[in-house]
Amino acid sequence: MKNLNDLNHLRIIDDGDEYNGAFEVKIKGEKYFVIVSNGLDWEHVSVSSKHKIPSWTTMNTIKDMFFHENEAVIQIHPPKSDYVNVHKNCLHLWRPLGAEMPLPPKICV
């Protein structure tokens, strides 16, 4: 993950640090609320909007803002029994800390 202090101009709460924080990001005129955290061996970016679910393009833009270009991140579709939805317009990006994330061969992507 990038050093979040480089994004201080987007912070909406001042109690974050280089790995955690709350941000407001504008993409194509739409405001997104972004919460970034690292805990329990995961880096996590939560992206929400009042008006719509973030698109693939929006999530890709957010990924590029908060992660280095050589870092792979994932969106998880858990089993229905583990599904939690506390905000209908929220998606998440995840990256494990201290572990290599398996990826399919490039030809499959």
Exposed/middle/buried for residue 55 (C-beta within 10 Å: 0-12, 13-18, 19+): middle
Residues 6+ away with beta carbon under 8 Å from 99: 41
pLDDT tens per residue, range 53-76 = 999 999 999 999 999 999 999 999
Reduced to 3 states (helix: H, G, I; strand: E, B; else coil), residue 64 is helix
- CATH number of the 4-100 domain: 3.40.1720
Q: What is the model's pLDDT at position 30?
A: 95
pLDDT tier, 91 (very low <50, low <70, confident <90, very high otherwise): very high
Chain centroid, CA 34 distance in Å: 7
Domain ranges for the chain, please list them: 4-100
Does pLDDT of 84 surpass 90? no
Radius of gyration from C-alpha coordinates of the chain = 14
Q: Which residues contact 11 (CB under 8 A, 6 or more apart)?
A: 21, 22, 23
